[in-house]
A and B are shown apart, each in its own frame.
Chain A
């Protein structure tokens, strides 16, 4: 009986003590007497066409779907006795009367007219004046839920993709917390030992056995299992497998999350994962090229292919139109603009990407100077003049306009001939998880070596200067990008860092991961230890994983 599968990672019920004067919280065995916590006095109400009446009340006075209903509610829902429109306004269920709760105007009405039930106009709760408490009647709550859903749809509210109840089209259902059935409640009451994931909890962290030089795999697994969206997807059982055989990598991934959240302290042995990856990505197998970055790409590719079973993945056969969880999280769009130097016509292509590979200073291709005609942005507070190379420097270099030279002329459709051109890369669409790959391993014809240049990377990163849209603004003459503090679309937070120690021939991979907002841990195969933010930021960095800070509604 694994609660974590349906319960999500943390219960939604608050832990603080709440002092509520007018709500009676009686810890009696109400549940065992009647189910749910209803009351007998609703029976007087449940006659004739009560369902429809109740629906109308919810539609007009509680859940306002459209702008008109909202206006009407605002204007007409006022206390018939004192004119207040807040003060916990209630509507009588038996007649058209609005009365505020705070001044007990609705209570007076109930006493005078013997109308025992009223509804709170803000949250739709039903109050019984005989019981003197809010009651929860199953049938009435059902109607309330349905009307609420309709109202949300009318409002045009779409829920973000990370919401477990969202379907492929993005039209959401309001997220409802899990509610146990009577039987489940009984079981839970009899079994009080429960693991609660607090900030000081090890659950979610687990070591991984090295299967023989497989730290390249372990480090990527740690990064993936600590990707919040991916975690939420798997812990809410969103993968519906359509593969006949036992060889679905997504299922194995799901199993991996179960292992990480199982509470086991001994390290997990990811032998099945290795087997699956090697059978599905033959080019990886064998011990010649065990690079963590390659493994990441191969693993994402296999996962993406195996996601066909999920609702989101139905269009998986068309790689440009897939909506599987891998694409939703990891796929970004890279825009490449090739500008003809003669006619200045621009040819644009957009390619999907899962990661950005960045050249480093110290490689055989020169790093400095970055392209002239600066973008002027010191958004992330760094500049190369002050010392260490920064991640922002690398990104600026990545997105600089590059002259392609006379030996690489492009056929220009405007000029109808081969012309010299410049090429520039910018981000058209940023993925939710951005992975930066620092190209530390040089494999040129002459030499093979590791570039150990320290590159400083920030905890928080703003990608705005590297966006295609920013480039357009620059081209339109706005050279100084004013920082829009309210635009949160491009803000990213670091959550995992993969490091490589050693030489090109023999080395070892470890990962720093972030858990519970600001706690960092070092994952070294089977050994997980606590790490400081300083440890993380001082490390060399090979793969840097950033997560979008604010997830917007689509």
Chain B
């Protein structure tokens, strides 16, 4: 068949159809040929085997479709113990608590400015434990994440015997509840009536250390009388004091739980506060945040030393009105508080100078 110019106008339908069919089958054949060349080259160049995979791998990644498990065949809700490291303060935080931590850590929450304020106040006063402990308690009260905790805190105020030297009960921190070991009332704070370890014999020490935190304060030289899950001290410190007091064989703590199972109380906050008795401004929570404390921190106007980018969302939909916003919560039982918790908070009283109970220590 020589290639020649041909007019289509004179042809009837059957001829046209035959032509179309010819062209079509030519195209298909050419496409198949291309495929053959691809395969041939792959085999000859030696990479054809790459398409293979092993049976085991295929099975490993098969989608599972069964009730009660996810597509990987895993049971739901087994991820409670995940942790991560905060990019801001480099502390290890429980993953499910990371967001509220980050909010405070970056100084963006409503309460962060109050905490910062308090720090300034405490650093201006005598740097003794009582102040920071009070901050600690305030942090607990500041907590948005557990709406019920404030109610319970108020209730407990009257229950406790403020002069009791011991808090021997270790209480599990449950979602929404305040632990018994933290006294909400700053004025009745008494954990540092403390115990002087030098006056106790080894047996007494040993029995004491089975129920109490026991970490020795650098300032007062007394042992901490809080529970073994006391948030002011780390497990490392507790282990160290046991080694110190009882010898190397006594280094293990009966309760090895380092992570307090709590959705309401950020235990690590207490530790940080303790280590910052000297406020040197090295934390990311800058005191300058407090400048905006009057205004609601919703505006997140914290004047951080970092370069602040101007948010310009020019690309809004013009379909009328601002977009609606709903607050999406997590699957935990906490309800997200939309402006309610402010009303129910205790009014913050100014931090008093050295309360009289501490005079007893010396």
Q: Which of A202, A210, A297 contacts B62 (CB 8 A)?
A: A202
Which of B31-39, B221-229, B275-283 touches A? B31-39
Q: Is residue B349 within 8 Å, beta carbon to beta carbon, of the partner chain?
A: no
B-binding segment of A153-161, A225-233, A279-287, A474-482: A279-287
What are 8 contact pairs spanning A and B, CB under 8 A? A37-B46, A85-B3, A125-B37, A136-B45, A196-B57, A196-B58, A509-B328, A530-B65
| Interface residues in A346-368 (C-beta closer than 8 Å to B) | 351-359, 365
Q: Please give, as numbers and ranges, the residues of chain A lying within 8 Å of B99 by CB-CB distance.
A: 211-214, 274, 287
Chain B residues whose C-beta falls within 8 Å of the C-beta of A287 in the assembled complex: 99-100, 103, 109, 144, 327, 336-337
User: B320 and A86: CB pair below 8 A?
Assistant: no
A547 CB within 8 Å of chain B? no
- Is the beta-carbon distance between B336 and A357 smaller than 8 angstroms? no
A170 contacts chain B at the CB level, 8 A cutoff: no
Extra A-B contacts (16), CB below 8 Å, given A18-B35, A179-B45, A282-B108:
A78-B3, A185-B46, A198-B58, A202-B71, A202-B72, A267-B79, A275-B86, A282-B300, A283-B300, A287-B100, A288-B327, A293-B323, A319-B315, A353-B318, A506-B336, A525-B331
Interface pair B62/A201, CB less than 8 Å apart: yes
When chains A and B are docked, how far (Å) is the Cα of A162 from the Cα of B62? 29
Q: Of A45-53, A109-117, A186-194, A377-385, which stretch is located at the interface?
A: A186-194
Partner of A521, one of B71, B76, B82: B71
Task: Establish whether residues A505 and B313, one from each chain, have CB atoms under 8 Å apart when the complex forms.
Answer: no
Query: Are B84 and A288 touching (Cβ within 8 A)?
Result: no
Select which of B29, B70, B79, B329 is within 8 A of A508 by beta carbon: B329
Chain A neighbourhood of B254, CB < 8 A: none
Closest 6 CB pairs of A and B: A441-B324, A291-B325, A212-B99, A31-B46, A216-B328, A285-B108
Does A323 sit within 8 A of B, measured CB to CB?
no
Q: How many residues of A contact B (CB 8 A)?
A: 127
* B87 CB to nearest chain A CB (Å): 5
B169 lies within 8 A of chain A by Cβ = no
Interface contact A265-B82, CB-CB below 8 Å = no
Contact partner of B315 (CB less than 8 A), chosen from A211, A301, A398, is: A301
Check if A331 is an interface residue, CB within 8 A of chain B: yes
| A507 close to B61 (CB less than 8 A) | no
**Complexed CA–CA distance, A265 and B314 (Å):** 39
Partner of B334, one of A202, A213, A272, A528: A213
User: In the assembled complex, how far is the CB of residue A453 from the closest CB belonging to chain B, in whole angstroms?
Assistant: 13
Is the CB of B207 closer than 8 A to any CB of chain A?
A: no
A214 to B49, CA, bound (A): 44
Residue in B closest to A76 when the chains form the complex, CB atoms: B3
* Contact A506-B329, Cβ < 8 Å, known A286-B109, A356-B317, A439-B321: yes
Centre residue among A196, A216, A288, A293 by max chain B CB count within 10 A: A288
- A25, A205, A283, A305: the one contacting B43 at CB < 8 Å is A25
Contacts of B299 in A (CB 8 A): 283
A439–B326 alpha-carbon span in the complex (Å): 10
User: What is the 8 Å Cβ interface bit string for chain B, positions 1-39, against chain A (1 contact, 0 not)?
Assistant: 111000000000000000000000010011001111111
Contacts of B47 in A (CB 8 A): 13, 179-180, 185
User: Does any Cβ of B come within 8 Å of A66's Cβ?
Assistant: no
Most buried by A among B1, B79, B88, B324: B324
Interface check A104, CB cutoff 8 A: no
Contacts of A293 in B (CB 8 A): 323-325
Interface core residue of A78, A180, A506, A525 (most chain B CB under 10 Å) = A506
Contact B328 A290 (CB under 8 A): yes
Question: Complex formed: what's the CA distance from A511 to B158 in Å?
Answer: 48
Assess whether B102 is in contact with A275, with CB atoms less than 8 Å apart. yes
Q: Is the CB of B57 within 8 A of A83?
A: no
The B interface is mostly helix, strand or loop, or mixed, namely loop
Selected contact of B44 from candidates A30, A122, A210, A266, CB within 8 Å: A30
Interface residues of A (CB under 8 A from B): 11-15, 18, 20, 23, 25-27, 30-31, 36-37, 74-75, 78, 83-86, 88, 120, 122-123, 125, 133-136, 179-180, 185, 188-189, 192-196, 198, 200-203, 205, 207, 209-216, 219, 263, 265-267, 269, 271-272, 274-275, 278-283, 285-294, 297-298, 300-301, 305, 319, 331, 334, 336, 351-359, 365, 398, 425, 437, 439-443, 450, 500, 502, 504-509, 519, 521, 524-530
User: How far apart are B31's CB and chain A's nearest CB, in angstroms?
Assistant: 10
Partner of B327, one of A180, A289, A437, A526: A289
Asked if A286 and B300 make an inter-chain contact with CB atoms under 8 angstroms apart, the answer reads yes
- A14-B320 in contact (CB<8A): no
User: Is B110's beta carbon under 8 Å from chain A?
Assistant: yes
Q: A213-B328, A506-B336 are in contact. Are A443 and B322 (CB under 8 A)?
A: yes
Cβ contact of A78, chosen from B2, B96, B319, B336, cutoff 8 A: B2
Does B72 lie within 8 Å of A398, measured CB to CB? no
Decide: B315 and A353 in contact? CB cutoff 8 A.
Answer: yes
- Among B40, B82, B308, B334, point to the contact of A209 (Cβ < 8 A): B82
Tell me which residues across on chain A come within 8 A of B72, comparing CB atoms.
202, 265, 528
Query: Does B330 touch A at the CB level, under 8 Å?
Result: yes
B38 adjacent to A13 (CB under 8 Å): yes
Q: CA of A23 to CA of B41 in the docked complex: distance in angstroms?
A: 10
A11 to B51, CA, bound (A): 7
Report A-chain residues with C-beta under 8 Å of the C-beta of B70: 207, 527-529
Q: Which residues of B contact A301 (CB under 8 A)?
A: 311, 313, 315
The answer to whether B327 and A13 have CB atoms under 8 Å apart is no
* Residue interface mask B319-362, A partner, CB < 8 A = 1: 11111111111111011111100000000000000000000000
Contact indicator B335/A505 (Cβ below 8 Å)? yes
With an 8 Å Cβ cutoff, the count of chain B residues facing the other chain is 99
Q: Which residues of A contact B50 (CB under 8 A)?
A: 11, 13, 180, 188, 194
Residue of B nearest to A83 (CB): B2
A502 to B51, alpha carbons, bound, how many Å? Answer: 47
Q: Indicate if the CB atoms of B328 and A215 lie closer than 8 Å.
A: yes
Q: B95 an interface residue at 8 Å Cβ cutoff?
A: yes
Task: Check B318 against A425 for contact (C-beta < 8 Å).
Answer: yes
Q: Which residues of A contact B96 (CB under 8 A)?
A: 209-212
- State whether A291 touches B328 (Cβ < 8 A): yes
Q: Complex Cα distance A179/B21, Å?
A: 37
Whether A210 contacts B331 by the Cβ 8 Å rule is: yes
Contact B46 A288 (CB under 8 A): no
Of A86, A196, A209, A443, the residue contacting B26 (CB under 8 A) is A86
Give the docked Cα–Cα distance between A528 and B64 (Å).
10
Asked whether, in the complex, the Cβ of A36 is within 8 Å of the Cβ of B326, the reply is no
Q: Is B249 an interface residue (CB 8 A)?
A: no
**Contact partners of B53 in chain A: CB under 8 A:** 192-196
Residues of A within 8 A of B57 (CB): 193-196
The answer on a CB contact under 8 Å between B315 and A297 is yes
Output the residue of B36, B53, B62, B329 with the most chain A CB within 10 A: B329
Given the interface contacts A13-B51, A193-B57, A331-B315, does A443 sit within 8 Å of B325 by beta carbon?
Answer: yes
Chain B residue numbers with a CB within 8 Å of A26 are: 43-44
B76 CB to nearest chain A CB (Å): 5
**A13-B42, A194-B53, A281-B311 known; A292 vs B103 contact (CB < 8 Å):** no
CB distance from B34 to the nearest CB of A (A): 6
User: Within 8 Å CB of A271, what residues of B?
Assistant: 84-87, 93, 95, 98, 102
B258 interfacial contact with A, CB 8 Å: no
B334 surroundings in chain A (CB, below 8 A): 213
Task: Provide the residues of chain A in CB contact with B36, threshold 8 Å.
Answer: 18, 20, 23
The complex places the Cα of A509 from the Cα of B332 at a distance, in Å, of: 12
From A78, A205, A210, A305, residue with most partner B Cβ within 10 Å: A210
Say yes or no for B240: interface residue by CB 8 A criterion. no
Q: How far is the CB of A441 from chain B (nearest CB, A)?
A: 3
CA of A207 to CA of B73, assembled, Å = 13
CB distance from A204 to the nearest CB of B (A): 10
Q: A122-B33, A269-B82, A356-B317 are in contact. Are A504 and B40 (CB under 8 A)?
A: no
Complex: how many Å from CA A359 to CA B96? 35
Residue B253 lies at the interface, judged by CB distance under 8 Å to chain A: no
| Central interface residue in B33, B58, B61, B88, by most chain A CB within 10 Å | B61
- Are A357 and B317 closer than 8 Å at their CB atoms? yes
